[in-house]
Amino acid sequence: MSVREQIADLQKELPEGVNLVAVSKMHPASDIEEAYAAGQRVFGESRPQELCAKYEALPKDIEWHMIGHLQTNKVRSIVPFVSMIQSVDSAHLLAYIDKEAARIDRVVDVLLEIFVAQEETKHGWEEEELLTYLREGSWRSFEHVRFRGVMGIASLTENQMQIRSEFVRLRSLFDRLRGEFFGVDFDTVSMGMTSDWKLAVECGSNMVRIGSLIFGARNYGASSLPDMK
């Protein structure tokens, strides 16, 4: 199926109120243009350099979401244009984003990335660590980040029960954080990818991040910078 057909199918299948982030990392700008022509406006990337190059090359009404691990020394390059940073996994990074956004007088939407999987390789806050940080309260002085919700990646496993329990845990943490700390602006639960998005939606996701289903398998060897297409 073409990129256009996949987008159309997904848009039909997704319940109302569930937003689609098309994850275009490692895919050429021409693929993004095809999705754009099909009406898709929200794209997710995981490497700052690739994100910046694609931003430069592509239509300016695209909403770019940073979804990969972000180092503080790369924050400045994406803060001017990024519409959401989904991968905020530490207090240090949060403070840095606030500082860089303040410097250019922007407010950047962020999601708190929560570690819910079994694998040690994944990033994100541990629940207790996050709750301790939020109770301590220094984040309340940040005027240039807007806390919009949580993001998480489930374990890479065939075990649907395991995945379901991780999604349920993430959704209930979201409800708790919304009630205890953030309120109604905190409205986004980003969970679900190609292999598990239906399960994620059943468990209360309202933002799915889908790559391979739309664009095909990623080729980790090739460059996907726009001028290489």
Nearer to ligand PLP, 23 or 51 (CB): 23
Nearer to ligand PLP, 152 or 226 (CB): 152
Nearer to ligand PLP, 14 or 142 (CB): 14
Q: Applying CB under 6 A, does 212 fall inside the site for ligand PLP?
A: yes
Nearer to ligand PLP, 38 or 142 (CB): 38
- Residue of 6, 24, 40, 46 interacting with ligand PLP (CB under 6 A): 46
**Binding to ligand PLP, residues 119-178 (CB under 6 A):** 153
Please write down the HEC assignment for all residues of the chain.
Answer: CCHHHHHHHHHHHCCCCCEEEEECCCCCHHHHHHHHHCCCCEEEECCHHHHHHHHHHCCCCCEEEECCCCCHHHHHHHCCCCCEEEEECCHHHHHHHHHHHHHCCCCEEEEEEECCCCCCCCCCECHHHHHHHHHHCHHHHCCCEEEEEEEECCCCCCCHHHHHHHHHHHHHHHHHHHHHHHCCCCCEEECCCCCCHHHHHHCCCCEEEECHHHHCCCCCCCCCCHHHC
- Residue of 3, 23, 62, 117 interacting with ligand PLP (CB under 6 A): 23
Q: Applying CB under 6 A, does 77 fall inside the site for ligand PLP?
A: no
- Residue of 38, 79, 210, 224 interacting with ligand PLP (CB under 6 A): 210
Interface with ligand PLP (CB under 6 A): 23, 25, 46, 67-68, 153, 193-195, 209-213
